[in-house]
Amino acid sequence: MKLASFDRGRLGVVHDDRIIEISDLVPLPAGFWPPVGMVKLIAEFATLKPRIEDAASTRKSVPLASVRLEAPVQWPNKLIAYPANYHAHALEMRSTYRANTRGFFLKANSCISGPADPIVLPAIKGPEIHHECELAIFIGRGGRGISLTDAMDHIFGYACLMDMTVRGEQERVMRKSFDTFCPIGPYIVTADEISDPANLDLQLTVNGAVKQKANTNDLILDIPNMIVMASSVMTLYPGDIIATGTPEGVGPLAAGDEVTIRIAEVGAMTLPVVQGAIGDNLAFQTK
């Protein structure tokens, strides 16, 4: 099943190039703030699934192109990310550590954007602003101290994710949390539709040129171990997002670029890059 958010908090099921609205199945008014409709849908999915399937087979659909897709989860409890989780990328960054020995970090939830939103570059001079092509995991059933054998059962689904990053020495959370620095989409593909998440081709192109091309079988800390590590520290909640790390080939984006991320069995999205007016601060002015 492919589940999407669209048109200011409405929820839908995607079938080929069409979408069926199911907002009414989640007990929240459409447009409710904060936008937690998909989080509730994920939390209550066991109960809702037959009703969603029924709606998908009986209701009228509209063309996917006639709606504005949004980040499938816009208000998670947390957005977790693993750095240095592909060997070749860790080498290109000259990292002295790897995800399995250093652990994870957090990005601000407010930097999440959707498949119809541009990437807005902050108005800072000097440092490069890089794309990072990543597979996103959505937590379904939450928990703390999740075991390796149970870990995969806690995954609700997957999407494409870009972990946008200002390179530099400033605190990582600040460099990675500018608004629009975490495009996610185009929708959630539920875990049952992915044949093997540990063997997915992922690719990122800039203006049509391939910059990153890899397979999730090259992950250092694999998907179940990422869940074990995160849940050893924090209770995971339905809708929590894990950015699994980026392979080699990261590089700068500039205003006017068009960047496309594509992950096998998961989907693709193409985003324009524009220059923003806000973003500079003392930390970026102090070398």
Which tokens sit at 176?
Answer: 């990675």
Which tokens sit at 70?
Answer: 């949004």
Q: Which amino acid is at 224?
A: P
Binding mask 224-263 for Mn ion (x = CB under 5 A): ----------------------x-----------------
Residue least distant from Mn ion (Cβ): 163
Other CB atoms within 10 Å distance of the CB of residue 103: 16
- Do the bridges between strand 79-81 and strand 105-107 make them parallel or antiparallel, or are there none, so unpaired? antiparallel
**Who's near 15: CB < 8 A, 6+ residues apart?**
2, 56, 61
**Residue 20 vs 226, nearer CB to Mn ion:** 226
**Residue 21 vs 163, nearer CB to Mn ion:** 163
**Residue 10 vs 131, nearer CB to Mn ion:** 131
Task: Work out how close the CB of 38 gets to Mn ion at its nearest, in angstroms, rounded to a whole number.
Answer: 22
Binding mask 16-55 for Mn ion (x = CB under 5 A): ----------------------------------------
Host H or E run for residue 76: none
Task: Work out how close the CB of 161 gets to Mn ion at its nearest, in angstroms, rounded to a whole number.
Answer: 9
**Residue 19 vs 112, nearer CB to Mn ion:** 112
**Helices marked H in 156-219 — which ranges?**
172-175
Closest by CA position to 135, among listed 206, 43, 226: 226
Task: Work out how close the CB of 33 gets to Mn ion at its nearest, in angstroms, rounded to a whole number.
Answer: 29
Q: Which stretch binds Mn ion (CB under 5 A): 7-15, 30-38, 127-135, 153-161?
A: 127-135
User: In sequence order, what E strands does the chain have?
Assistant: 2-6, 10-15, 18-21, 62-63, 69-70, 79-81, 105-107, 112-113, 119-121, 129-131, 133-139, 155-162, 165-166, 182-190, 201-206, 209-215, 241-243, 251-252, 258-263, 267-275
List the one residue from 70, 117, 163, 222 that touches Mn ion (CB under 5 A).
Answer: 163
List the one residue from 132, 200, 229, 260 that touches Mn ion (CB under 5 A).
Answer: 132
Kindly state whether residue 74 participates in binding Mn ion, applying the rule CB under 5 A.
no
Contact residues: Mn ion, CB under 5 A? 132, 163, 246
